[in-house]
Amino acid sequence: MAPETATGTIKATQPPTEATQPKVQRERLPLGPIKNIHVYWLAGMSCDGCTIAVAGATNPGIEGLLLGTVPAMPKMLLHHPVLSVEAGADFVKSFQDASHGKLEGEPYVVVYEGSVADERIAKRTGGYFSAMGVEAIEDADGHGQPVPTATWLSRLAPGAAATIAIGTCATWGGIPSAEGNPTGAMSVMDLLGADYRSALGLPVINVPGCAPVGDNFTETVFAILLFLQGLGPLPAFDELGRPAWLFKETVHQGCTRAGYYEEGTFASRYGDPECLVELGCWGPVVNCNIVKRGAINHMGGCMKAGGVCIGCTMPGFPDKFAPFYKTPPGATLSTFASHGVGTVMRRLRRLSNREASREHRWDVLGHVPSGWAHVQHQTVMDKAIKFFYQKWQHFRAKAPGRPPGQEDRLWGADRPGVRSDYLDDSAVRGDDR
């Protein structure tokens, strides 16, 4: 029946066409406020180093998220195969409830640690590579069948508010996926594909590292939870799903040894303080913030501890960075150029450093009153360089001191800038005037 309008006329309704129908939204969960959020932690082919790194995070710490004491954050209910109190069937039941949609409206996040093995390879011989829990199957013996963690990932990821791959094994495949491996190991992205979206429309979020910086992970989770609470925008991620604010710069750009590189000074053996590129460091081409942030509790980090960067946060690790501890081919040309330019730059900086390490008063008196050691006097070359340097430095700028002709207003006219009664030998001897 056609509806009657406010004017009393009858307008026939038209069936909605494809062009007038609202677009299907990928988001299937409401945004905040959230009281509790479940975190289902799955471990594939892993060394558990990611778990250890996250347990040591401090900003924010994992304890605050678990206890729900972080302001505006929901309480995080962690289901972890090592850290959870439950065991056996009681532990697996929560995973089953999530996969069957029985969490009573409470959202959940999936975290996957370790690479995802191609379980089809193991299944050919009736085995598995990485599994969690057992499900009863009907076979001749009536035995249960272990459930591969790859299967759990496939079940849980579609309904998750977000799927987070932690560590290089989960983000890019890592060491288990190196050339020649027998397991067909892959990353979470490789398994779920480019078309994967979570229940809130998010692709896979990647926090790489071997092991990752714990604070990188908890900070990313914190930012995502703010988004889920409706208190902030979705954080910025790069084209590979990495937190853009954490993995934008290279190791070299934040390295404490980078200054040696541009001056052309390189370490020849481990323990030297100079740049480590010639010992096999890949820092100039690797996206990572471990030198800036530190490994744990904002301390340590590969280069700070004297080790080279082997590219463990990168998708090409380990194959594209092997063999380790050998000078990268690209470094041969760049370090050759750095040696040439750095030799000149280093000497010019030493001249400027020596000049900046003198008070103006010392230059006027021609004496440095240091009792620690003899300080080199200014040579004729030093004075000449200083003259032209200051002319350039003060070009179109106001030089320090009083304008010409006003020097004697306070100090006397014997010598500009220095009191006349301090120009005798008593100033050098330190007599009380």
Residue 28 is predicted with a pLDDT of 53
Lowest mean pLDDT across 38-42, 114-118, 290-294: 290-294
Q: What residue segments make up the domains of the chain, in order of their start?
A: 36-134+144-246, 249-357, 401-433
Q: Is the pLDDT of residue 54 over 70?
A: yes
Cis check: omega of the bond before 60, within 30 degrees of 0: yes
- 149: buried, middle or exposed (CB in 10 Å: 19+, 13-18, 0-12)? buried
The residue to which tokens 């062009």 are assigned: 19
Of the candidates 241, 306, 314, 305, the one whose C-alpha atom is nearest the C-alpha of residue 284 is 314
Architecture of domain 36-134+144-246 in this structure: 3-Layer(aba) Sandwich (3.40)
Q: Quickly state the pLDDT bin for 72 (edges 50, 70, 90).
A: confident
Q: What is the pLDDT of residue 5?
A: 39
Question: Looking at the predicted structure, is the pLDDT value of residue 375 above 70?
Answer: yes
* CA–CA gap between residue 258 and residue 265 (Å, rounded): 10
Three-state SS at 392: helix
pTM of the predicted model, to two decimals? 0.78
* 302-313: average pLDDT: 93
**Residue 423 confidence (pLDDT) above 60:** no
Question: What is the reported pLDDT for 230?
Answer: 83
What would the mean pLDDT of 209-225 be, rounded to a whole number? Answer: 93
Segment 8-20 mean pLDDT? 41
CA distance 220 to 111: 12
**What residue type is 68 in one-letter code?**
G
Q: Which two tokens stand for residue 104?
A: 């009573």
In residues, how long is the chain? 433
Q: Return phi, psi of residue 307, to 5°.
A: -95, 160
Mean pLDDT of 347-354: 89
Q: Which of 26-30, 92-96, 121-125, 222-226 is least confident?
A: 26-30
- Residue 149 has what pLDDT? 96
Tell me if 36-134+144-246 shares its fold with 249-357.
Answer: no
pLDDT tens for each residue of 395-417: 888 888 877 777 665 554 455 54
In this structure, the strands spanning 108-113 and 162-166 are: parallel
Q: Smallest Cα–Cα separation from 243: which of 284, 213, 205?
A: 205
Give the full edge-to-edge strand order of the sheet including 36-43. Answer: 75-79, 36-43, 108-113, 162-166, 205-207
Q: What is the DSSP letter of 115?
A: B
The domain 249-357 is placed in CATH, from the list 4.10.480.10, 3.30.365.10, 3.40.120.10, 1.20.120.1200, at 4.10.480.10
pLDDT at site 378 = 86
In this predicted structure, the answer to whether residue 247 has a pLDDT above a threshold of 90 is: yes
pLDDT confidence tier of residue 138, bands split at 50, 70 and 90: low
Contacts of 229 (CB under 8 A, 6+ apart): 31, 32, 33, 34, 72, 73, 74
Per-residue pLDDT of 309-335, as tens digits, reads: 999 999 999 999 999 999 888 888 888
Write the DSSP assignment of 170-239 as a string of letters: HHH-TGGGSTT-SS--B-HHHHH-TT---TTS---EEE--SSPPHHHHHHHHHHHHHHHTTSSPPPPB-T
Question: With contact defined as beta carbons under 8 Å apart, do 288 and 317 qualify?
Answer: no
As a whole number, the mean pLDDT across the chain is 85
pLDDT band at 421 (very low <50, low <70, confident <90, very high): low
Tell me what percent of the residues of the chain surpass a pLDDT of 90: 52
Whole-angstrom Cα distance, residue 219 to residue 270? 33
pLDDT bracket for residue 141 (50, 70, 90) = low
